Structure 1
Amino acid sequence: MISTDKIFTRSELLQQVADWKAQGLRIVFTNGCFDLLHLGHVDYLEKAKALGDKLLVGVNTDASVSRLKGPSRPLQDEMSRARIMASLLFIDAVVLFDEETPYELIKAVMPNILVKGDDYAIENIVGHDIVLNNSGEVKTIALVKGYSTSGIVDKIKQQLKG
């Protein structure tokens, strides 16, 4: 399997998720921009995968990242970010989403487990209501301190000034 085999359109993803659920597999969902892949991401995603059988990652489109992070972002285009995510062994499926939040995607996928970093309170995680109201679980994972894409970008900018 090559990494692009794990990048799905929304309709393809829904069929794949239905197949996995029919096999009794537990679906874990998380999302993010993943503009620069770093140790914090890898640690978080490995821990997310350990919570279930299949890890599905929603990746913000370029337009969505720009709306969230500003006009200088993303640093990498959406297909590059999706393919990098799909290349990770512990990720089973990647899907792009263009909305401000993954709410509609979560509603369509109906994961067994919704995961975000511990910088979120459960009641502030987008989609927590959908998952909890459908007998699912919402969990947070401790983030590795000192790792963020914004922090890396700031460090590069400082070094270029110096």
Structure 2
Amino acid sequence: MTGSSKVMSPCEALERVRAWQASGKKVVFSNGCFDLLHAGHVEYLTAARKLGDVLVIGLNSDASVRRLKGPSRPVCCETDRATVLSALEVVDLLTLFDEDTPEELIGTLLPDILVKGADWAVERIAGARAVLEHGGAVLTLPLLEGRSTSGIIEKIIQLSSQSAHCSGTI
């Protein structure tokens, strides 16, 4: 995977989460594809980290991203995405999951706070039920308007096609 000590297997992540919780730390969990990291991601992750003492990220594997987003995704492989995310100061631990949702991972880790973007209704958030039944909280955070990986990809495609069209007219 990567050389970062923040990137762990789900089993290692469970040990670390339990140790943090045993020492009284509040564990915040969020997840996503994080294909092309942008300002919206950074603001979201920074706000999520402020909700507790440590921030754990569940990162969709490449296979999971392909099933969710289509055959042209991810743009960046899981190793690169993990490297970039784990380099962020606000991220304390990162683990990959191969399923379509992190429900099983969340049910195992049982964070104190589960966080997603405000575009998710709490009842639709994978793992919410397990966290709530365990006495935790499920929260949504506002998203930075106009920032999305899909939007960035669309803009690149649009600019690329404009460039290709223009290069034929000299």
Which band: TM-score by shorter chain? Answer: over 0.9
Instruction: Provide the residue aligned with 1:52 in structure 2.
Output: 52
1:152 correspondence with 2:160: no
1:133 and 2:133 correspond: yes
Cα distance in 2 between the residues matched to 1:15 and 1:65: 26
Structure 1 residue aligned with 2:110: 110
Contact 1:57 1:91 in 2 (8 A): yes
- Measured after TM superposition, the shift of residue 18 of structure 1 is 1.1
Structure 2 unaligned spans of 5+: 163-170
Q: Given residue 96 of structure 1, which amino acid in structure 2 is its aligned partner? A: L
1:89 and 2:89 matched: yes
Deviations 1:68-117 (A, max 9, x none): 00000000110110111000001000000000100000001000000000
SS of structure 1 residue aligned to 2:96: strand
The CA deviation string for residues 2-26 of structure 1, in whole angstroms up to 9 with x for no partner, is 9611000111111111110110100
Match of 2:121 in 1: 121
RMSD: 1.0
> Secondary structure of 2:21's match?
helix
SS at match of 2:115: strand
In the superposition, relative to structure 1, how do residues 151 and 119 fare at CA in structure 2: closer, same or farther (>3 Å)? Answer: same
Is contact 1:60-1:96 (8 Å) kept?
yes
1:27 aligns with 2:27: yes
Tell me, yes or no, if the aligned pair for 1:3 and 1:87 is still in contact at 8 Å: no
> Could you say which residue in structure 2 is the equivalent of 1:99?
99
How many residues in Structure 1 have an aligned counterpart in Structure 2? 161
Distance 2:117 2:77 in 1: 23
- Which residue is 2:73 aligned to? 73
The residue number in structure 2 matching 1:62 is 62
The amino acid across from 1:57 in the alignment is I
Task: Choose 1 or 2 for highest CA Rg.
Answer: 2
Separation (CA, whole Å) in 2 of partners of 1:15 and 1:127 = 19
**1:11 matched residue in structure 2:** 11
Q: Is the 8 A contact 1:3 1:86 kept in 2?
A: no
